[in-house]
Structure 1
Amino acid sequence: MTPLVAIANISHSFGAGPVLSGVSLSLARGSYTVLLGPSGSGKTTLLSILGGFLAPDEGSVLINGVDCTRLAPARRPTATVFQDYALFPHLTAGANVGFGLRMKGVARTERDGRARTMLEVVGLAAAFHKKPHQLSGGQRQRVALARALLVEPAVLLLDEPLGALDLKLRRQMQDELKAIQRRVGTAFVHVTHDQEEAMALADHLVVMNNGQIEDQGPPERVYHRPQTRFTATFMGESTVLSGHTIRDGIDTPIGWFPAPPGTAALAIRPEHVALGGSIPARITDVVFQGSFKRVSADVAGVSILARLPAETMVSPGDMVKLAIDTRHMIPLRA
């Protein structure tokens, strides 16, 4: 099937410093793609190139088979929701949502009717006559989303849209964003540096680092079977055990473990470390995180992270025995 978006060999620099280097990416119709990475990884630059706010130094952007690489934002089938929402403070929510249609010359009666319908889609039917200052942060975010969706873009771009919200509202909006995307069927491309947000929203997760794509695929695969060491350490937490290969395994400071040929290190997620095994360890740190305890333990000079049940009674200095579920160890190549 022909992809909705085909990004091919995109490179871009600011001054002498390359920001993107030969990035290629395909996006399917109806997908929710999240670009995830640390500051400076190139994710926002890639989104800006997709939206037409930047022209790449090299490469091309095709949307629905049309070369949009040099088209201005207003001439390509995309719409963007920015982190600050960019709502007009003097206009009502209804007028903000209908602004794009107003610029296209659509009559007021029609655009008001369509704006009301779109506000209903995002759960704000009663906010039509309210000004932005009368709305909460989450409501303003949904007004911006409704405005972008009303012009029926092929691709909706979201530039860290939840970054300004508090934790509780951010999680609520994650659920609402996903529900809205499923309802309207538009392809979403969402930029964030928040791994939890990325995994909650994406059906296509793209991990970026130093201007390149490190890994991409369904969030569960990327988390449980990352393709690179960077992805293994950036996606959630993990302990990386380096060693050298012996027969069909790898010898590490805390023991020998089975591993496929070519393995240079093994990553262990903290949820796969438990008490009650045979590995002697000394607890070095305990952090209560509500639903679990984040525990650091020293094993033969290696700091192992464990996620233990909240009721576990351990303190720094305690000597314990750890168990590692080797079935979930992540093999990493050099």
Structure 2
Amino acid sequence: MSAPLVDISSVSHRFGQHTVLKDVSLKIEPGSYTILLGPSGSGKTTLLSILGGFVTPSEGKVFIRGEDCTSVPPAKRPTTTVFQDYALFPHMSVGANVGFGLRMQGVDGATRAAKAREALALVGLAAAFDKKPHQLSGGQRQRVALARALVIEPAVLLLDEPLGALDLKLRRQMQDELKAIQKRVGTAFIHVTHDQEEAMALADHCVVMNDGRIEDEGPPERVYARPATRFSATFMGESTILAGTVTEATDRTSTVATPVGAVSLPGALPVGSAVALAIRPEHLVLGTAAGGVRLGTAGVSDVVFQGSFKRVLAASIEDPSVQFIAKLPATATVQPGDTVAISCDTDRIILLAD
């Protein structure tokens, strides 16, 4: 197996008495699109700053291409960073902005211009070479910042919430363009966001962070379908969480007592152990699921039409502290005040590690 492009080894960091990263280890493979996902204060931006050389960790090491870059300044490591505010020079042309990093490297003017044009063509802005940043839209300025970062051919491109300032439609368009550009250039992208939809749209490697630690990591499909922890299950998409206790177990199945009834799960679990079960909204059924498990009845409290589906909130009749979150077809006739049966296919129930 080839060595990772980036190897973050046991990194911790403190600002004064406040610890923002706690023994974080992470490997990034060449050509991957990695998303650091988490709420504000989870440590994801600090970790990106350490990768970019803007912050030196209190403990631990950062290796890029097998070399110790822990204390190497930003200009001397094989990374570039695209910030949320783009940081374009307003007095320079777009071409000069894109070529600025090459200018700092001592590249001659003709070569800078040629490479800047190539980079602008890569992001679909070949015609903008002589324009000024203020003449461009927000999405176009974002692509100029991307071209400026890519033109120096970094081993790793770091993106700090680069789409945060864009409206929803433009953000989704730029998600498609970012992924397409990353595939074309083959550079490893490491992208910070708190937007779970953005993470699932872009990543082939998703890293969920919380309170300075990595909660879960892997392909986004696995992290969503089989989250490792309760936090991951509730941050990477929504989930209904059921607390339970294992009451019976055989070699192949275990029975878990929950506030809404007994649930049978595959696999042997220790009798008496406390567990947490998660169910994604699209896997809850209002009514009876063929071959599924009944989860009692619930009173519908809210129905929100969201275009392609309806998001339904319902409180369990058996235990009102249990709030079911269901995602139903847009044509579903459910409405607030209805009392409905709740069920789920047993195979769709997620056993959480915590």
Provide TM-score, normalisation by structure 2: 0.92
Counterpart for residue 185 of structure 1: 186
Counterpart for residue 272 of structure 1: 283
| Aligned positions, number | 334
Q: Write the deviation string for residues 273-330 of structure 1: whole angstroms up to 9, x where unpaired.
A: 1222164221111111111111011222221110011111121111222331221111
Name which of 322, 325, 334 aligns with 2:345. 325
- How far residue 233 of structure 1 moved from its aligned partner, in angstroms, is 1.0
- The one-letter code sitting in structure 1 at the alignment partner of 2:307 is G
Counterpart for residue 79 of structure 1: 80
- The one-letter code sitting in structure 2 at the alignment partner of 1:312 is A
**In 2, Cα distance between the equivalents of 1:281 and 1:12?**
46
**In 1, Cα distance between the equivalents of 2:297 and 2:67?**
61
Counterpart for residue 30 of structure 1: 31
Secondary structure at the aligned position of 1:250 is classed as strand
- How far residue 256 of structure 1 moved from its aligned partner, in angstroms, is 1.1
Does the CA-based 8 Å contact 1:87-1:96 persist in structure 2?
yes
Q: Equivalences for 1:137-148 in 2 at 5 Å?
A: 137-148=138-149
Secondary structure at the aligned position of 1:163 is classed as coil
**In 1, Cα distance between the equivalents of 2:105 and 2:228?**
46
**In 1, Cα distance between the equivalents of 2:11 and 2:163?**
27
User: Once structures 1 and 2 are overlaid, which stretch shifts more, 315-324 or 273-282?
Assistant: 273-282
Q: Write the deviation string for residues 168-195 of structure 1: whole angstroms up to 9, x where unpaired.
A: 0000000000000000000000000000
Q: Write the deviation string for residues 198-226 of structure 1: whole angstroms up to 9, x where unpaired.
A: 11100010001111111100000011111
Cα RMSD of the aligned pairs, angstroms, is 1.1
Q: Equivalences for 1:1-334 in 2 at 5 Å?
A: 1-247=2-248, 248-259=254-265, 260=267, 261=269, 264-277=275-288, 279-299=296-316, 300=318, 301=320, 302-334=322-354
User: Once structures 1 and 2 are overlaid, which stretch shifts more, 275-284 or 65-74?
Assistant: 275-284
**In 2, Cα distance between the equivalents of 1:161 and 1:305?**
31
User: Once structures 1 and 2 are overlaid, which stretch shifts more, 257-266 or 60-69?
Assistant: 257-266
Q: Write the deviation string for residues 87-111 of structure 1: whole angstroms up to 9, x where unpaired.
A: 0001111111001111112111111
**In 2, Cα distance between the equivalents of 1:3 and 1:214?**
20
- How far residue 246 of structure 1 moved from its aligned partner, in angstroms, is 1.5
**In 2, Cα distance between the equivalents of 1:79 and 1:298?**
49
Q: Write the deviation string for residues 53-108 of structure 1: whole angstroms up to 9, x where unpaired.
A: 00001100110011110010001000000000000001111111001111112111
**In 1, Cα distance between the equivalents of 2:308 and 2:175?**
20
Secondary structure at the aligned position of 2:124 is classed as coil
**In 1, Cα distance between the equivalents of 2:46 and 2:299?**
45
- The one-letter code sitting in structure 2 at the alignment partner of 1:151 is I
Q: Write the deviation string for residues 2-37 of structure 1: whole angstroms up to 9, x where unpaired.
A: 010111010100110100011111100000000000
Q: Write the deviation string for residues 138-162 of structure 1: whole angstroms up to 9, x where unpaired.
A: 1000000000000010000000000
Any stretches of 5+ residues in structure 1 without a counterpart?
Answer: none
**In 1, Cα distance between the equivalents of 2:22 and 2:38?**
15
Does the CA-based 8 Å contact 1:81-1:145 persist in structure 2?
yes
**In 1, Cα distance between the equivalents of 2:67 and 2:27?**
14
**In 2, Cα distance between the equivalents of 1:145 and 1:61?**
24
Secondary structure at the aligned position of 1:243 is classed as strand
Secondary structure at the aligned position of 2:63 is classed as strand
Does the CA-based 8 Å contact 1:204-1:216 persist in structure 2?
yes
**In 2, Cα distance between the equivalents of 1:178 and 1:333?**
32
Secondary structure at the aligned position of 2:72 is classed as coil
Does the CA-based 8 Å contact 1:250-1:265 persist in structure 2?
no
Provide TM-score, normalisation by structure 1: 0.98
Question: Percent same amino acid at aligned positions?
Answer: 67
Does the CA-based 8 Å contact 1:11-1:23 persist in structure 2?
yes
**In 2, Cα distance between the equivalents of 1:209 and 1:330?**
20
